Amino acid sequence: MKKLILAFTLSVAALLSATALAAGPSIPLDKANNDLSDKESLKKGFKTYLNYCLGCHQLQYQRYNRTFADLGIDDADGVENYMYTGDKVGDHITNNMSKKDAAKWFGTAPPDLTLEARLRSPDWIYTYLRSFYIDESRPFGVNNTVFKDVGMPHVLQGLQGVSTLEVSEVRGEDGKMHKVSTLSPAMGGSLTTEEYDVVIRDLTNFLEYVGEPNKLERKNIGYWVLVFLFFFFILTYFLKKEFWKDVH
């Protein structure tokens, strides 16, 4: 019995340390503050995804027509303006990039993004896409503060511009000097910082939606359940009054 308890404790400890390792050093993430009920934001995010991400990243568990229906895009409009790949509206959102070639070009094949927001978190995606900086030692000339030595080029550089990483030393509360690295404001992009943040918030919103399309419905159902409970409560109240009327 003792052995069993020991083995159990050890495996729990191993599991805990493995998760701690996998998570890596924690970097403070910026809040995405995205709003899944904002259909306009979801549509803009979908467009940005199609224009800038689909070339490399698929959404192989998501269909075009499901997306159209959830975002309030009618099928004709969808086919005209939102379908760059696939023949039928029932097709999955995929591309034709071969995994082998991609691995050769980037070191790692670009992963499918359907479940990315659930794997990482919307805040992580929001921060990641705003954290590229110049690093000449990397194959594409950029690195990323939340994903060290990432194999992805900064595909939104035209919009954001580029930042540099500035490392400075500041005295912490413990009196010791600590290295702090901050990103300089991005230069040379076509958007201002605020505009770029909105583009990324919409894109993050879309990727969170794709990770769990039923979330939209679930929220709506929750609302109706509350309305129902409210009316049911009033009914019950009057029923109670009716029953107790003759008792006193």
Dig out the tokens for 74 from the structure: 């009618």
CB within 8 Å of 132: residues ≥ 6 apart: 142, 143, 144, 154, 157, 160, 162, 163
**Smallest separation, CB 152 to ligand HEC (Å):** 3
Instruction: Tell me the residue number closest to ligand HEC, measured at CB.
Output: 53
Q: Residues interacting with ligand HEC, by CB under 6 A?
A: 52-53, 55-57, 106, 108, 110-111, 116, 120, 125, 128-129, 150-153, 155-156, 203
Nearer to ligand HEC, 64 or 131 (CB): 131
CB within 8 Å of 11: residues ≥ 6 apart: none
* 182-196: burial string, b at 16+ Cβ within 10 Å, e else: eeeebeebebeeeeb
Return the closest-CA partner of residue 165 out of 141, 129, 131. 131
Cβ proximity of 50 and 138 under 8 Å:
no
**Smallest separation, CB 37 to ligand HEC (Å):** 21
Residue whose entry in the numeric block shows the structure tokens 């000449």: 136
**Smallest separation, CB 236 to ligand HEC (Å):** 49
Nearer to ligand HEC, 75 or 151 (CB): 151
**Smallest separation, CB 90 to ligand HEC (Å):** 24
Nearer to ligand HEC, 63 or 154 (CB): 154
Residue whose entry in the numeric block shows the structure tokens 């029932």: 90
Nearer to ligand HEC, 116 or 123 (CB): 116
Cβ proximity of 199 and 39 under 8 Å:
no
**Smallest separation, CB 109 to ligand HEC (Å):** 7
